[in-house]
Structure 1
């Protein structure tokens, strides 16, 4: 059994539970719908949080294995899984060592999670391990600003931000790291988005990448 103690952020989990519901009304629900549209077969969702994606999976998805390390959020995800039509199995685990088999999935999903994993490269190596050759990664993430000045400001605030936001690092260039992982980005839209009125607008990316054949 994995030691998940470093991933426990109960205060942040309670805050995220409230903010995620509000952000759905401000546009996040539509981003989730676009993220998951067209998926089919078996899907592993990495860092499923409180299960806000579950209602947006299309009926062609045969099974979702939702991996979440934080205890409170995982319990909420289990509750959410009971209210959707697509079969969802919620399991304890973390992005750097997914508790699933090699090549067993048609797709992996990450949404608002690569900002907070301890090691993005390790997480993406796990994506390549568990997704079959020719399968895909769907991603929706907030990322480092393209503005040099704003990027430097993000560097300054990241240490404090990470402490209060469950390890989130707003200064990560996630698109670049996905490209460097060996996954082939086929589509990537970049846009500014303010999840709720009380938060700053941040650059986001939404797209898909292919796991190439070995």
Structure 2
């Protein structure tokens, strides 16, 4: 999952994770059909957008032409360089910058939408990141999210707690599989307007990172 830095740093280096994501995990998700979910995530957006944890720019091809500018924030140096390359062929103007999820390089109430895609699992402070998203959104602006979340079954929740306490965050750029991200969005002052819950990828063996939500929420004032 794309990396989000702590509030104290706008740039991080995780070269092993960056290689794993760009060469293995990202292509594997593409083969599993994640492109359809990326397209739904971004459909209907317009105006100025901030994308938090843009990774190597895998969302860029899916932005609709009604978007006039994307400020793509990515702290990991290698992923940010790859995103800069991807931005050159994006269908909309994309500016790739270093930055922290908890201290976004954007003014108050200055953007029409904030996009988070497989990144709220890895931010050190989820509440602070969502507060920043709310800060930069215009009144009535949208938060678009596609995230893996806490499982519904007690058995898988136990698995999530176990992997989150051991190897998963170390291998996956700080990712945690068991966060209750839907509740966090609601608690951050957003009104959920559209939420789909589903399993992805659809594999025979269940994954601790398999439960996902995709949807939109509106800044409330």
Shift in CA distance, 90/198, structure 1 to aligned 2, threshold 3 Å: farther
Question: 2:68 matched to which residue of 1?
Answer: 62
| Counterpart Cα distance in 1 of 2:116 and 2:88 | 21
Which one of the candidate residues 10, 15, 22 is aligned to 1:17? 22
Q: Number of paired residues?
A: 211
The verdict on how the C-alpha distance between 1:36 and 1:125 changes in structure 2, with shifts beyond 3 A counting, is: same
Q: Which runs of 4+ in 1 moved over 4 A?
A: 195-199
Alignment of 1:91-170 (within 5 A): 91-159=97-165, 160-170=167-177
Provide the rounded CA distance (Å) in 1 between the counterparts of 2:205 and 2:152.
Answer: 22
Larger deviation, residues 199-208 vs 48-57:
199-208
Give the match's secondary structure for 2:33.
Answer: helix
Correspondence for 2:184: 177
Offset from partner CA, 1:124-179 (integer Å, 9 cap, x none): 00011000000000000001101111101100111310011100000101001111
Note the C-alpha offset of 1:20: 0.6
Query: SS in structure 2 opposite 1:153?
Result: helix
The runs of 5 or more residues in structure 2 that have no matched partner are 1-7
Structure 1 residues 50-89: aligned runs within 5 Å: 50-89=56-95
Any stretches of 5+ residues in structure 1 without a counterpart? none
- Tell me: CA distance 1:135–1:53, structure 2 relative to 1, closer, same or farther (3 Å): same
Q: CA RMSD in A?
A: 1.7
Structure number with higher relative contact order (C-alpha < 8 Å, ≥ 6 residues apart): 2
Q: What TM-score, normalized to structure 2?
A: 0.91
2:215 aligns with 207
Contact 1:117–1:123 (CA<8 Å) still a contact in 2?
yes
